[in-house]
Amino acid sequence: MLVEKIMKKNVITLSSTATVLEALQLLQEHRIRHIPIIDKEKHVIGIVSDRDVRVASPSILDKQANQQVLKKEIREIMSTPVVTIHPLDFVEDIAKIFYEETFACLPVVREGKLVGIVTEKDMLYTLIQLTGTHMPSSHIELKVPHEPGNLASILAVFGKRKLNITSLLIYPDHEDSNYKIVVIRVQTIHPLPVVKDLQTNGFEVIWPKPLQGAEE
């Protein structure tokens, strides 16, 4: 999946000469957590978060606090330089950036200009879609030798049952590098017949464990 498929295109932005108060008002009005700071050519020159604004703002409990701080220009508190991504980057690649850099959002840039933004929430929703958990389905896990042809054989079993697969994920078996864990979500509320088929074909089912006497 490409970034352009999940990014928000209508991005709330500010110029570097906007005030802390303007940023605070936008964050509250639009219920967002980050605002990219751009120049006249829509180049991303910084980013400000709700935390940056809270730290810079006077406490509402301190009536003697200097309210002049709200008139400061946003460039005084924005983070720079900014890590950006491209609309044609793969979602799984930018997920690694989110994880390694602990970012909460990434501006999306094409030809040097801001065209969108991706947040942690966008990434989590995309994960839900990729795993198929947003659709009614049953979860089946297999432990499979890491050998050519095994996946095709597994899918053939589901094909014989004429079952619709909503998602398929493969990840390493952390206990044995010679094996992979195959996670399949299938549109059925009665997975035990296909589980039995998989076992009959020699595949090790981790979940669910079939019941004795399960009907075909």
CATH number at residue 15: 3.10.580.10
How many CB atoms sit inside 10 A of residue 164's CB?
Answer: 11
Residues 146, 122, single domain; the answer is no
CB distance 67 to 58 below 8 Å: yes
**Predicted pLDDT of residue 162:** 94
Q: Would residue 216 count as lying in a domain?
A: no
Identify which has the larger pLDDT, 57 or 123: 123
Whether pLDDT at 41 is above 80 = yes
Residues 121, 146, single domain; the answer is no
Residues 193, 145, single domain; the answer is yes
Q: What is the band of 4 on the pLDDT scale with cuts at 50, 70, 90?
A: very high
Q: What is the mean pLDDT of residues 83-92?
A: 96
**Predicted pLDDT of residue 212:** 47
**Predicted pLDDT of residue 214:** 46
Among 83, 106, 128, the domain boundary falls at 128
Task: State the chain's maximal CA–CA distance in angstroms.
Answer: 76
Among 88, 104, 128, the domain boundary falls at 128
Residues 99, 23, single domain; the answer is yes
What are the pLDDT digits (tens) for 195-205? Answer: 999 999 999 99
Residues 53, 79, single domain; the answer is yes
Residues 22, 62, single domain; the answer is yes
CATH number at residue 160: 3.30.70.260
The number of distinct structural domains making up the chain is 2
Domain residue limits at 59: 3-128
Residues 98, 189, single domain; the answer is no
Question: DSSP string covering 147-201, please?
Answer: -TTHHHHHHHHHHHTTPPEEEEEEEE-TT-TTEEEEEEEES-S--HHHHHHHHHT
Residues 73, 12, single domain; the answer is yes
Whether pLDDT at 216 is above 90 = no
**Predicted pLDDT of residue 77:** 93
Whether pLDDT at 105 is above 60 = yes
Q: What is the band of 135 on the pLDDT scale with cuts at 50, 70, 90?
A: confident
Residues 115, 182, single domain; the answer is no
Q: Would residue 215 count as lying in a domain?
A: no
Residues 122, 138, single domain; the answer is no
3-state secondary structure of 25: helix
Residues 85, 181, single domain; the answer is no
What are the pLDDT digits (tens) for 54-74? Answer: 888 766 545 555 567 788 899
Whether pLDDT at 213 is above 90 = no
Among 68, 95, 128, the domain boundary falls at 128
Across the chain, mean pLDDT equals: 90
List C-alpha distances in Å: 102 to 13, 82, 97, 120.
Answer: 22, 13, 8, 10
